[in-house]
């Protein structure tokens, strides 16, 4: 199918599949899916500029759906999200100026791909390392993630003045508590700074920044994984909206692609968000690491296929790696959700309750018998 705005031919069924994967993984990992959708569009042959703009637009729509779902689950820290947005919005516009400089030098496509490969490879490797570390004896005794001490030090950083004066508000303290995130005291400048970094990379790479923000909230700020997922999605709505507006002004969005992908993403998001209630947080993080590592490999293969003669077949391999691993993760997510649902159904059924009752009666009888034996032995003595 020809998409005249982007001037590229792409199979619409691939776009539907990509949208389904983005929605499911976005709801499960708390990311907009930019690491997947922009990388996927690049692999499908979409020009880098349109892959960035179209990816941001899809991220905005998908994140709205996912945020509403996680809000009902109580996983969104709105105060933390708004603070990060303060730094995010100006940084997105700054990234747009950097992209214009890259386009004038005709290095946009390769540069974006190289940055993607590096970021995703490092981040994915760390997430897998943390999973292995968290299951060691030492880490299981000290905390949920491998950077607990670092998160405590970041929260304790004293930066900037202790209060600021605002018209109509007077003197306002710059140190606040974030009870939803379990943070007793933190400087507002820290989440603002984090938001600025995320916003810059969101505008530069065409992602909502979620693939960086979710791990940052968990490992740097010490936010619980479930809250990090919901808050990340809320922040991505703002990032995606601003990024979509900026890209639309530069005619870098293909709305037909967006509509096709969003149709399937809305269905997948319901599956992903529901699965977060039944999957262990450490498993969520390691699956996220595996997913983004596959994205790094796929984009690297695509770059090699365009840079080295005689390696055109690697483009097809890249598509298989990206969609294959993401599809396998989505099937695993759906399987875990179905398994948990069936288990809950069995537990709520009359037979299940009868079995539990019989088990309790049997256990009680054993305890009584054991007690009788003890009394008998005492009498003999």
Those residues with Cβ within 8 angstroms of residue 131's Cβ, 6 or more apart along the chain or in another chain: 282, 283, 285, 286, 289
Q: Which pLDDT does position 367 carry in this prediction?
A: 45
For residue 250, pLDDT beyond 70: no
Q: How far apart are CA 248 and CA 214, in angstroms?
A: 26
Q: Which residue has the higher pLDDT, 161 or 111?
A: 161
Which range has the worst mean pLDDT, 155-159, 176-180, 300-304, 331-335?
300-304
Average pLDDT over residues 224-247: 77
pLDDT bin (cut points 50, 70, 90) of residue 207 is low
Please report, for residues 248, 341, 373, the alpha-carbon distance to residue 165 in angstroms, rounded to integers and kept in the order given.
37, 52, 76
Q: Which pLDDT does position 8 carry in this prediction?
A: 81
pLDDT bin (cut points 50, 70, 90) of residue 361 is low
For residue 2, the cross-strand partners are 9
For residue 286, pLDDT beyond 80: yes
User: In percent, how much of the chain has pLDDT > 70?
Assistant: 80
The pTM of the full predicted model, rounded to 2 decimals, is 0.71
Q: Which pLDDT does position 140 carry in this prediction?
A: 46
Average pLDDT over residues 148-153: 87
For residue 338, pLDDT beyond 70: yes
Return the H-helix or E-strand segment holding 9: strand 8-9
Average pLDDT, the chain: 78
Q: Which pLDDT does position 352 carry in this prediction?
A: 54
Average pLDDT over residues 167-196: 88
Average pLDDT over residues 124-143: 69
Cα torsion 199, 205, 208, 211: sign: negative
Please report, for residues 123, 126, 298, 307, 329, the alpha-carbon distance to residue 286 in angstroms, rounded to integers and kept in the order given.
11, 9, 19, 32, 11
What pLDDT, in 10s, does the model give residues 13-42?
Answer: 888 888 888 888 888 887 666 667 776 787
Name the most confidently modeled range: 93-107, 155-169, 197-211, 220-234. 220-234
pLDDT bin (cut points 50, 70, 90) of residue 142 is very low
Q: Which pLDDT does position 33 carry in this prediction?
A: 67
Angle between helices 225-249 and 78-104 (to 10 degrees): 40
């Amino acid at each position: 199918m020809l998409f005249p705005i982007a001037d590229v031919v792409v199979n619409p069924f691939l776009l539907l599949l990509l949208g389904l994967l983005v929605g499911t993984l976005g709801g499960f990992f708390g990311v907009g899916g930019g690491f997947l959708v922009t990388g996927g569009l690049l692999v499908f042959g979409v020009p880098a500029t349109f892959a960035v703009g179209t990816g941001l637009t899809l991220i905005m729509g998908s994140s709205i759906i996912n945020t509403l779902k996680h809000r009902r689950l109580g996983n969104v820290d709105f105060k933390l999200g708004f603070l990060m947005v303060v730094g995010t919005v100006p940084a997105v516009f700054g990234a747009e100026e950097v992209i214009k400089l890259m386009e004038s030098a005709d290095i946009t496509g390769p540069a974006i791909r190289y940055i993607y490969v590096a970021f995703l490879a490092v981040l994915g490797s760390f997430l897998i390392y943390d999973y292995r570390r968290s299951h060691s004896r030492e880490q299981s005794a000290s905390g949920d993630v491998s950077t607990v001490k670092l998160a405590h030090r970041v929260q304790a950083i004293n930066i900037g003045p202790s209060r600021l004066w605002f018209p109509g508000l007077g003197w306002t303290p710059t140190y606040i508590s974030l009870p939803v995130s379990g943070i007793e005291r933190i400087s507002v400048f820290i989440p603002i700074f984090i938001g600025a970094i995320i916003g810059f990379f969101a505008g530069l790479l065409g992602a909502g920044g979620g693939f960086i923000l979710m791990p940052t909230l968990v490992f740097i700020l010490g936010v619980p994984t479930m809250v990090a997922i919901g808050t990340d999605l809320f922040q991505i709505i703002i990032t995606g909206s601003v990024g979509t507006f900026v890209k639309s002004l530069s005619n870098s969005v293909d709305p037909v692609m967006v509509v096709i992908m969003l149709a399937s993403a809305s269905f997948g998001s319901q599956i992903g968000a529901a699965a977060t209630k039944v999957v262990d947080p450490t498993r969520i993080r390691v699956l996220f690491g595996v997913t983004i590592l596959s994205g790094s490999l796929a984009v690297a293969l695509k770059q090699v296929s365009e840079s080295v003669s005689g390696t055109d077949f690697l483009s097809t391999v890249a598509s298989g790696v990206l969609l294959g691993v993401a599809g396998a993760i989505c099937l695993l997510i759906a399987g875990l959700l179905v398994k948990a649902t069936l288990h809950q159904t069995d537990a709520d059924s009359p037979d299940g309750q009868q079995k539990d009752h019989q088990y309790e009666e049997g256990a009680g009888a054993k305890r009584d018998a054991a007690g009788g034996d003890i009394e008998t032995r005492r009498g003999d003595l």
